[in-house]
Amino acid sequence: MSTSEAAVRERLTRALQERDEEIADRWVELQMEQALLDTDIGEAELREEADALIEALVPGLQSGVPVDRVVTSTPGLHEAVVGLSMRRARAGATPTATSLAVLAIKEALLKAVQRDTRDAEELFASAVFMNRLLDVAGALSFETYVEGREEIIRRQSQQLMEQSTPVVRLWRQVLAVPLIGTLDTARTQVVMENLLQAIQDHEALVAIIDITGVPTVDTAVAQHLMQTVNAVRLMGADCVISGVRPSIAQTIAQLGIDLSTILTRATLADALAAAIKLMDGPGPDGDEGDGR
């Protein structure tokens, strides 16, 4: 580390320690003035973020780590930037606004440095150092935001997928999964996990997979159905596929898909009747009606 860089680090560290409240106030003010939020994040939360980031900058500057690695190599500073970005992502701010919000601290910090020196060379050196330091923070916040939003979207998609494939208890020890829409690999996995868990929870003997809402059945969909049926059988339960419409039956026959080992029915009602026969139990009008 050169003597000039050491002097810049010392100057910035002193400003952060002695004028922390001033820097935090100015940073919050800049974010609100420049409309960098687009969210309902309040001033109090902004101040907490500012205090955390300013506090984390001090050990980063004192560490002696090369300026380009200060943000990524200082745990507290890295955590402060990542936490800020994730909060903005959850609040719905844009990645650009999030990155610019982090970069806005440059102006607040430089203004604090100007109170200690008016020397042009010192101010220029401080500005260059801050750019190198905080540009990394801005890039990290942008990257974290994008990854965070992708994770949020994946989690929401998973939740929607689970909600769109409910397992319904039709009868005592008879479950059904009404499928609507395309059955792809990801959804098959969700269906399988939910159904197998429900079979265990309800001690089910028969599971009905209703494909009335599935628009088409091709080779891939048929394979997904077979996987689910095989998994159900491994749990010791029988499986019935209902909702096999004439068009689907014709497509399956034309594709040469072999579903001969699977019990199929045209309607959910027919499948329920078949399920009850499989259990050798009474029909819907029998004495066991209260078991539903």
pLDDT tens digits along 85-123 = 888 777 777 788 888 888 888 888 988 888 888 888 888
Residue 207 is predicted with a pLDDT of: 93
Confidence label for 290 from pLDDT (cuts 50, 70 and 90): very low
Confidence label for 39 from pLDDT (cuts 50, 70 and 90): low
**Which percentage of the chain shows pLDDT scores above 70?**
88
Residue 34 is predicted with a pLDDT of: 64
181: left (phi over 0), alpha (psi -120 to 50) or beta: left
pLDDT tens digits along 128-182 = 988 888 888 888 888 888 777 777 666 656 555 555 568 888 888 999 988 887 7
* Range 19-25 average pLDDT: 90
Residues 6+ apart with CB under 8 A from 5: 67, 129
User: Does the structure show a pLDDT above 60 at 196?
Assistant: yes
Q: Which residue is associated with the tokens 């106030």?
A: 25
pTM of full prediction above 0.95: no
φ, ψ dihedrals at 239, nearest 5°: -130, 135
Give the number of C-alpha atoms closer than 13 A to the C-alpha of residue 286, restricted to the C-beta side: 13
Residue 251 is predicted with a pLDDT of: 83
Residues 6+ apart with CB under 8 A from 263: 238, 239, 240, 241, 274, 278
pLDDT tens digits along 47-86 = 888 898 889 998 988 887 888 888 888 998 899 888 888 8
pLDDT tens digits along 223-274 = 888 888 999 999 999 999 998 888 888 888 888 877 778 898 989 899 988 9
- Give Rg (Cα) of the chain: 31
Contact call for residues 74 and 60 (beta carbons, < 8 A): yes
